[in-house]
Amino acid sequence: MRILWFSNTPSLAAKKVSKNTAGGSWIESLEKELSTFPEIELAIAFKHVALEVQEIEIEDSKTRYFMVPQYPNTKLSKWTSRCFANLYYEKSIPYYLKVVDNFQPDLILFFGTEFDYPMIIPQINIPSIIWFQGNLTVYNEMYESGIRLKKAFSFESLKRIAKCSTVYHEYRLFHKRVQREKQIFKFAENFIGRTDWDKRVVQIMAPQANYFHSEEALREPFWKHIWSFQPNRKKFIVTTVIRGLLYKGLETVYKTSALLEDILGDDFEWQVVGISEGTTYVKAARNEAGYGKERNGVKLLGSKFGEDLVHQLLNANVYVHPSHIENSSNAVQEAMLLGMPVIATNVGGTPSLFNDGEEGILVQSKDPYAMAGAILELVKSPDKAISIGERARNLGMNRNDNKKICTELIDTFNQVIQAKNK
């Protein structure tokens, strides 16, 4: 079975084509496991700085890797893209089709509707399936749930405005991607998903499509370590892993932290991974929360990857996910796999990841009081935190078993191919 992936990451080819390879991805974990199945011939196409489609070889890998030119690809075209919200995806389609013609796959797997790869579906007669990741259409509805775009823009610098790199320009591009995503859903034939939320979204946005269930193959470092409660730690530490997007809930972190700082004082600290100090989002979130300069309970740690990220989590008391919209957060699942107690907002697909009160705790979005109360429960009851973490790990080890995921995935591939050939 010849399977072609279109992915926004080079997967295991990253070490050869990119300097930033520390992060890895769950797609890498999936490739590693799937490559052990002798009946699978795999190729992965990804965007990179290239003038033409280029196949690269990776030592000791039977996967074929295809770099396709990415657009915009010059300083001027990038500036034009940001200023006028031009996605340039029409230029990429001929290169995607060239990869398909080269590899001659039995099935094509597209990772996500957020990217332009599935736009080739109407031009091919090959079975295809889209792995549902997020959904920009719904995210657009929640975009300003935490902070209004106009307010965030008020914190932008003149330099970023001149470069068209503001939150406003980011949103205009985001909105264009929403329109493209809606087109993709209209002609998509098959989806892979993993939550009740994404299944319902597919049912409405793509009623013609088939839906198959599959979990995610989580990254290797999270399988190698187990979280344990440390009774002699001087501070109660909360860790969160989010990106700097308006709907990720940073303002809720600040509001919640302020409530807990007033109760626990210097014995409390909230460490946020994925966001650095000084950004427009941080300034807007602090202002929205009324989190003054005199407060310093929230520490923004910037990016952390691999083992560094794992050790960050192992040194915390609880993982908290404050986002206003998600499908199935990898950060939540990875914390669960480590055996950490997790508190997360009851949004999107998150309720499908664990049973409330059993393997984690759900609180409503934008509610710093409920979130602070849930954290305080675990401060006061370490035994509860430990038991929640133990159940979370057991659930994660069964749900995210890489070999089981690949076995079921191959069965899905076969079903899609057979249905197309009838």
pLDDT in tens, 174-188: 999 999 999 999 999
Measure the CA–CA gap between 96 and 76, rounded to whole angstroms.
24
147 and 117 housed in the same domain: yes
For the segment 81-122, what is each residue's pLDDT rounded down to a tens digit?
999 999 988 899 999 999 999 999 999 999 999 999 999 999
Tell me what the mean pLDDT of segment 348-376 comes to.
98
- pLDDT-based confidence at residue 23 (cuts at 50, 70, 90): low
**What CATH number is associated with residue 46?**
3.40.50.2000
* Total structural domains within the chain: 2
* pLDDT on residue 77: 92
- pLDDT-based confidence at residue 352 (cuts at 50, 70, 90): very high
- In terms of residue numbers, what domain contains 373? 221-399
22 pLDDT more than 60: no
Helix (H, G, I), strand (E, B) or coil at 115: coil
241 and 354 housed in the same domain: yes
201 and 241 housed in the same domain: no
Of 28-42, 48-62, 315-329, 376-390, the range with the lowest mean pLDDT is 48-62
Beta-sheet pairing, 41-48 with 128-131: unpaired
Residues 6+ apart with CB under 8 A from 179: none
- pLDDT-based confidence at residue 50 (cuts at 50, 70, 90): confident
208 and 234 housed in the same domain: no
For the segment 404-422, what is each residue's pLDDT rounded down to a tens digit?
999 999 999 999 999 988 7
Q: What is the CA radius of gyration of the chain?
A: 22
For the segment 263-278, what is each residue's pLDDT rounded down to a tens digit?
999 999 999 999 999 9
326 pLDDT more than 80: yes
206 and 334 housed in the same domain: no
20 pLDDT more than 80: no
17 pLDDT more than 90: no
- pLDDT-based confidence at residue 245 (cuts at 50, 70, 90): very high
Q: Which residue has the higher pLDDT, 23 or 125?
A: 125
For the segment 328-339, what is each residue's pLDDT rounded down to a tens digit?
999 999 999 999
91 and 131 housed in the same domain: yes
Measure the CA–CA gap between 22 and 14, rounded to whole angstroms.
9
* Sheet strands side by side (includes 54-56): 54-56, 64-69, 41-48, 2-6, 107-111, 128-131, 190-193, 210-213
* pLDDT on residue 232: 85
43 and 19 housed in the same domain: yes
227 and 250 housed in the same domain: yes
Q: Which two tokens stand for residue 43?
A: 């190729």
141 pLDDT more than 90: yes
Query: DSSP class of residue 11?
Result: G
172 and 307 housed in the same domain: no
211 and 125 housed in the same domain: yes
128 and 205 housed in the same domain: yes
Tokens 């999270």 label which residue? 222
Tell me what the mean pLDDT of segment 377-395 comes to.
98
Mean pLDDT of the chain: 95
365 and 382 housed in the same domain: yes
From residue 373, alpha-carbon distances to 233, 260, 272 in Å are: 21, 9, 19
* pLDDT on residue 135: 97
Q: Among residues of the chain, what percentage have pLDDT more than 70? A: 99
346 pLDDT more than 80: yes
165 pLDDT more than 70: yes
Give me the phi and psi of 259, to 5 degrees please: -65, -40
